[in-house]
A and B are shown apart, each in its own frame.
Chain A
Amino acid sequence: MTPLAGYLLVAALLFAIGLAGALTRRNAILVLIGIELMLNAANLNLVAFWRYGPHPELLTGMMFAIFSIAVAAAEAAVGLGLVIAIYRHARTTDLDEINRMKG
């Protein structure tokens, strides 16, 4: 197995764990944690392809990962703000209980 294949497998496993967390947990914050894990797995793929691909001096993969980190930070802030707003409105973060779109 080449080193790149090892990194890709770790990233795939991490992505699957994040997806499982996002799909199976009840708590909205845990769903956001799963989404963060999925974003991080994608970043690992980008950096691994940058390292083992041709022309690493062009920095494309690493730049993509850095911008992805910045966008993920914005996503986390807005997502957790939404969770707090929903908690204040519905008094719960249990996603099985939050089943109405009408306030």
Chain B
Amino acid sequence: MNVVFWILAVITVFGGLMAVTLKNTVHCALALTVAFAGLALLFLELDAQFAGFAQILVYIGAVAILVVFAILLTRGSETPSEGIFSRTWFTGLLIAAAVFAVLAWAVLNSTAALPHETSAPAVSVQQIGSALMGRYVLPLEIVALLLTAAMLGAVMVALHEKGEQK
């Protein structure tokens, strides 16, 4: 456990915590970007360079921008007068705490059984490319189809309804 991991872990968890607790929705989106960046750096720390840069491109470059667009289109940055948490917030918090307790208990009790290879894997982008074009070509094609369908679906769903000219 080195210092870099702990710094990145603190940044990521802090960003995530701010993203779900801040009042202003735009601030939440910015905190979410911090959490995404921390996760990308954790991926780089795990020697998964390709996944780390894909995380930066997809999440910081696209998803965070989409979230900001949605906030601005829905006037969601106005803080509601009756508070930002729903009526059943206590139950939700209890469920989340229980889930974390179970997960942490499972991890801490199976430390001896966890694999711990120490040698860093040397994976080049060329290897990833040939794996995508060879062994994983069918999932790749399905993801391409899914992305096309999702893009068309998002446009269809968000299109103006007919007869609504306000």
Contacts and interface: CB of A to CB of B under 8 A. Distances in A.
B99 A24 contact: no
Contact of A20 (B20, B107, B120, B143): B20
Given A51-B46, A54-B117, A78 B150 contact: yes
A82 B156 CA distance: 10
Given A5-B108, A81-B158, A17 B147 contact: no
Nearest to B83: A26
B86 A25 contact: yes
Nearest to B153: A78
A14 B16 contact: yes
Interface of A: 1-10, 12-27, 29-30, 32-34, 36-37, 40, 43-44, 47-54, 56-57, 59, 62-63, 65-67, 69-78, 80-85, 87-89, 93-96
A24 B90 CA distance: 8
A24 B100 contact: no
Contacts of B92: 19-20, 22-24
9 A-B pairs with the lowest CB-CB distances in the bound complex, closest first: A23-B92, A21-B20, A16-B100, A74-B150, A56-B121, A20-B96, A12-B103, A81-B154, A81-B158
A70 to B, nearest CB: 5
25 contacts: A4-B116, A5-B111, A6-B1, A9-B107, A10-B13, A10-B42, A12-B104, A17-B17, A21-B19, A24-B96, A30-B25, A37-B20, A47-B46, A50-B46, A52-B117, A59-B131, A62-B51, A65-B48, A69-B54, A70-B146, A74-B147, A76-B62, A84-B73, A84-B74, A96-B87
B76 A57 contact: no
Contact of A63 (B63, B87, B131): B131
A50 B16 CA distance: 24
Contacts of A6: 1, 5, 9
Given A5-B114, A10-B12, A18-B16, A29 B71 contact: yes
Contacts of B54: 66, 69
A88 to B, nearest CB: 7
A78 B8 CA distance: 30
A97 B50 CA distance: 42
